[in-house]
């Protein structure tokens, strides 16, 4: 398949691994490994599924970042969704990966089993169509995600307004990648030497926001795709910069990402949303790290419409997903991992999400830190 098979070629993977090994061949065993953080959960799954982290030389360590929108959606937003979805006059629409994310004591699947009208949709415009077809019901779409999903969610709100739908609203929990990178790089506990930026985010927003971060922190940022060879090439480029003492913004995903990004999509987002402070699950408040509905579209805000804005829920004291999302620990270093916390009994969203690091470690049997079977291709 075009642009898939070519980027899963084992021979090319071995070639890239050899080039990476040569880059660090002269590093002393006493030097700490170069710590490269992949920001996106899709990249994390590609790394763990293909054993890329275990194929790399000891001089390089991959650490996992906060790039899973399901994982960083805060607990109080989940509880707001549960409160809205339980109302008898509401059709609550969400992508499927949110239905099992635990709130306080239950999840959206539980609300559905108790009689709530919770529906899986494949596009936010499906929810708009439901609002058109059910004028006597309130239809709410759970609008979460990074910059990647924001244009379609913005388009849904824009379309609902054009259609004059007063029974459609969105519960918004959009978060932005550059402020998260800034927060991690600014932390006194950070040990990140370089970042692999999420290619799909940059396909929408372009790469302009990352240059100032490179200059401020002196850390390389390499825009990277999601197939095994994409990830290996991103690692190679980041490693080359670190070995040579450089810090630059590098686009290793030019078949998808351009410097300006998708300008019409950006215009739609900027019309419907405005930048706001946002709480990140397990991490805390990051200033100017999210999008909320702009004043022009405030009437579509489900938090206001259903008066759930005061719901504020403390995070689990047992779940260490916040440390996982900041790259401070690996999932299997959490005491609850694989025992108290499993995909069937998750404590946090990182064990539920299809892009969560904890789910990846559990699915691909990284249960105790012992070597797993590896192989790209």
Q: Is residue 77 part of a domain?
A: yes
Q: Is residue 136 part of a domain?
A: yes
pLDDT for the residue 371: 39
pLDDT for the residue 322: 83
Average confidence score pLDDT of the chain: 92
Residue ranges of E strands in the chain: 34-40, 60-67, 90-94, 117-120, 138-145, 168-175, 194-198, 221-224, 249-251, 273-280, 284-293
Q: Is residue 357 part of a domain?
A: no
pLDDT > 80? residue 333: yes
Taking phi first (over 0 means left), then psi (-120 to 50 degrees means alpha), and beta for anything else, what does residue 194 get?
Answer: beta
Q: Kindly report, residue by residue over 80-133, the tens digit of the pLDDT.
A: 999 999 999 999 999 998 998 888 888 999 999 999 999 999 999 999 999 999
Q: Is residue 114 part of a domain?
A: yes
pLDDT > 60? residue 192: yes
Q: Which of 45-49, 124-128, 138-142, 250-254 has the lowest mean pLDDT?
A: 45-49
Q: Is residue 100 part of a domain?
A: yes
Q: Is residue 132 part of a domain?
A: yes
pLDDT for the residue 212: 98
Question: Taking residues 222-241, what's their average pLDDT?
Answer: 97
pLDDT for the residue 272: 98
Residue 197's nearest CA partner among 246, 236, 231 is 231
pLDDT for the residue 312: 82
Q: By residue range, what is the domain housing residue 120? A: 71-176+285-305
Chain position carrying tokens 């002393």: 28
Chain position carrying tokens 């805000």: 301
Cα 184 from chain centre: 15
**Do 376 and 52 contact (CB within 8 A), yes or no?**
yes
Residue 173's nearest CA partner among 75, 96, 100 is 75
Residue 322's nearest CA partner among 364, 286, 271 is 286
Q: Using CA atoms, how far apart are residues 321 and 48, in angstroms rounded to an integer?
A: 17
Adjacency order of strands within the sheet including 273-280: 117-120, 90-94, 138-145, 168-175, 284-293, 273-280
Q: Is residue 26 part of a domain?
A: no
Rounded to two decimals, the pTM is 0.90
Question: Taking residues 283-312, what's their average pLDDT?
Answer: 94
Q: Is residue 51 part of a domain?
A: no
What's the total number of domains in the chain? Answer: 1
CATH of the domain at 96: 3.40.50.11740
Q: Using CA atoms, how far apart are residues 319 and 334, in angstroms rounded to an integer?
A: 8
pLDDT > 90? residue 63: yes
Cα 6 from chain centre: 25
């Amino acid at each position: 398949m075009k642009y898939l098979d070519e980027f899963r070629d084992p021979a090319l993977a071995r070639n890239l691994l050899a080039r990476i090994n040569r880059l660090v061949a002269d590093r002393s065993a006493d030097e700490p490994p170069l710590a490269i953080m992949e920001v996106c959960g899709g990249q994390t799954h590609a790394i763990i599924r293909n054993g890329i982290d275990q194929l790399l030389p000891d001089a390089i360590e991959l650490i996992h970042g906060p790039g899973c929108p399901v994982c960083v959606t805060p607990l109080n937003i989940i509880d707001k969704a549960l409160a809205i979805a339980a109302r008898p006059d509401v059709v609550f629409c969400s992508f499927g990966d949110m239905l099992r994310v635990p709130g306080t004591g239950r999840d959206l699947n539980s609300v559905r089993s108790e009689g709530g009208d919770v529906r899986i949709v494949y596009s936010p415009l499906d929810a708009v169509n439901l609002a058109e077809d059910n004028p006597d019901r309130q239809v709410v779409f759970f609008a979460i995600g990074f910059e990647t999903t924001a244009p379609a969610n913005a388009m849904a709100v824009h379309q609902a307004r054009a259609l004059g739908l007063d029974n459609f609203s969105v519960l918004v929990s959009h978060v932005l990648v550059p402020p998260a990178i800034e927060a991690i790089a600014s932390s006194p506990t950070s040990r990140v030497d370089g970042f692999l930026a999420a290619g799909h985010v940059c396909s929408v927003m372009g790469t302009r926001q990352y240059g100032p971060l490179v200059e401020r922190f002196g850390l390389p940022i390499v825009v990277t795709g999601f197939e095994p060879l994409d990830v290996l090439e991103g690692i190679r480029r980041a490693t080359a910069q670190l070995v040579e003492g450089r810090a630059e913004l590098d686009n290793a995903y030019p078949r998808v990402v351009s410097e300006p990004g998708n300008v019409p999509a950006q215009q739609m987002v900027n019309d419907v949303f405005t930048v706001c402070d946002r709480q990140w699950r397990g991490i805390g408040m990051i200033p100017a790290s999210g999008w909320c509905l702009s004043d022009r579209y405030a009437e579509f805000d489900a938090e206001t419409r259903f008066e759930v804005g005061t719901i504020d829920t403390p995070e689990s004291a047992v779940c260490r997903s916040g440390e996982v999302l900041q790259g401070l620990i690996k999932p299997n270093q959490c005491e609850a991992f694989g025992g108290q916390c499993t995909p069937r009994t998750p404590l946090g969203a990182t064990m539920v999400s299809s892009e969560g690091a904890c789910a990846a470690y559990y699915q691909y049997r990284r249960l105790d830190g012992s070597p797993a079977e590896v192989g790209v291709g």
